[in-house]
Amino acid sequence: MPVPVVNIAQMREWEKATWATGQTEAEVIRRVGGKIAGLALRLTRPGDGILILAGKGHNGDDARAGREFLTGRKIILLDVADPEAALAEFQRRTAPKTFGAVSDSSVSDGDRLEARPTLIIDGLFGIGLSRPLDGGWKKMITTVNRSPIPVLAVDVPSGLNADTGQPQGTAIAAAVTLTVGAPKIGMLQQSAWPFVGRLEVAEDIGLIPCPHRGEMNWTLPGEFAGFPPRRDVAGHKGSFGHLAIIAGSFGFHGAAVLAARAAQRAQPGLITLFTQEIIYRPVAVQLQAVMVNIWKPETRLPESTSAILIGPGLAAPEITEAMKAPTRQFWRESELPVIVDASALAWLESGAAPKNTIRVVTPHPGEAARMLGKTVPQVQADRPQALREISQHFGNCWVVLKGHQTLVGRSTGEISVNSSGNPHLAQGGSGDVLSGFIAGLLAQPALQADAGKTLRFAVWRHGHAADTLQAARTNWVVEDLVAELGKAG
């Protein structure tokens, strides 16, 4: 199940309700420590050093609790009550070690033989910090940020306001933040992204089920256990839909190929790709199971078509006018799911689609800005509101607002915040892969019943495939992403 995005007051109420059941703070802290250690072990290797910065409050207690679980690592605990006093020790512990500097009397033999830590765990301040940091703390945090050692922040990067997403003078710039229980609303703000880094959630820590519900929900992998559902043993090609893709133009034929290949990873029964005559040959020779036809003004889709994707690679200027009319017609009139991506987003007109039909748009922030007549900074400043406005403008369609923490939702109801993916998805073609995978899933009748869940799954799986690739090697390309979609669980 997804977890709600909460504010500080809601988090405090959740904790209070948990203590009322007899659960102890000590037990929850111990479990949080185990979660911190589990993530720290994934981020380091046996024998590495980990420096724990622990403040006076429960955030520091959480960080300290991780020590007993950090097996195979060299742990340095620095209790920080007075930042001025702790600063020199921090600098000594994180300075590059000079193995031959035996004449340095200020460095002990034990320290001289150790490399500096490979990870810092930030447990200085939690969500309870409600005042601007003073000069001593600013200097401490600035020094931590200047260190090349990556930081794992506990619950919230120290100094960041978890409600507003604004630093309170300054804040730890973490590589990863492991937040406790549920994401805090401020951590999803654009202003918070440089400090939060990659956001992960320690959700199973002994708290009662969250008593709060809101419009924003954080997607967790466990939501997709058993999804997509098991197929009927007697199923055949006709049981699993026929996707029609209208994509590709001169200079952009690769987008059509990527979308088709990604759709194959979703395993609809059939896929037919309609493309421009000028690029038919280079597209067709790269596809085997996908049927490839030439798109002409008089083209009619197969009677068995169960979903339509239009847009990837339709960027050549000479086809814009020719493709506007069919795009708008499909959107206004088709009873089938229609997924619109890339250049075709600019051709949509406001208005409703037939009742009870599935409509999906997949803009990145630049496309979203053009759809709304806004600037990209305006969209990024309030991404949920941008999603709501796009959906309302185009007939309450589903919106997949791509980017960091991709959003999935409509003009009303819940908005899902995706938890997977990384900056290496910022490659040409990754959006074509996503739209193709979405369309391949929505072409299947069994996956149309809950379009929201199908979209959340597609977005999460796409990001998870990228995370799997990034963990294995750093120079993967979008073609690898297509292959990994078929393997990522």
Is 189 a residue whose pLDDT tops 90?
A: yes
Q: Do the Cβ atoms of 190 and 381 come closer than 8 Å? A: yes
Give per-residue pLDDT as tens, 44-73: 999 999 999 999 999 999 999 999 999 999
Helix H or strand E encompassing 3: strand 3-4
Q: What integer pLDDT is reported at residue 103 of this predicted model?
A: 36
β-strand partners of 417: 218, 407
d(CA 453, CA 451): 6
Q: What integer pLDDT is reported at residue 110 of this predicted model?
A: 43
Q: Is 183 inside a domain boundary? A: yes
Cis peptide leading into residue 302 (ω within 30°) = no
Give per-residue pLDDT as tens, 347-387: 999 988 899 999 999 999 999 999 999 999 999 999 999 99
| Mean predicted confidence (pLDDT) in 12-21 | 97
For the chain, state the CA radius of gyration: 25
Helix H or strand E encompassing 243: strand 242-246
| Mean predicted confidence (pLDDT) in 303-326 | 94
b vs e for 324-363, b when ≥16 Cβ sit within 10 Å of the residue's Cβ? eebbeebbbebebbbbbbbbbbebbeeeebeeebbbbbbb
Question: Which of 185, 218, 251 is where one domain is finished?
Answer: 218
Q: Apex CA 219: angle with CA 216 and CA 225, to 5°?
A: 140
Q: Are residues 210 and 249 in the same domain?
A: no
Q: Are residues 243 and 211 in the same domain?
A: no
Helix H or strand E encompassing 8: helix 8-19
Q: What integer pLDDT is reported at residue 353 of this predicted model?
A: 87
Q: Are residues 463 and 374 in the same domain?
A: yes
CATH code of residue 385: 3.40.1190.20
Strands of 267-351, DSSP E? 270-275, 291-294, 307-310, 338-340
| pTM value surpassing 0.75 | yes
Give per-residue pLDDT as tens, 200-220: 999 999 999 999 998 999 999
**Mean pLDDT score of the chain:** 94
Question: Which of 218, 249, 278 is where one domain is finished?
Answer: 218
Q: Are residues 186 and 62 in the same domain?
A: yes
Q: Are residues 36 and 174 in the same domain?
A: yes
Give per-residue pLDDT as tens, 260-275: 999 999 999 999 999 9
Full DSSP string of 244-259: EEE---TT-HHHHHHH
Q: How far, in whole angstroms, is CA 221 from its chain's centroid?
A: 11
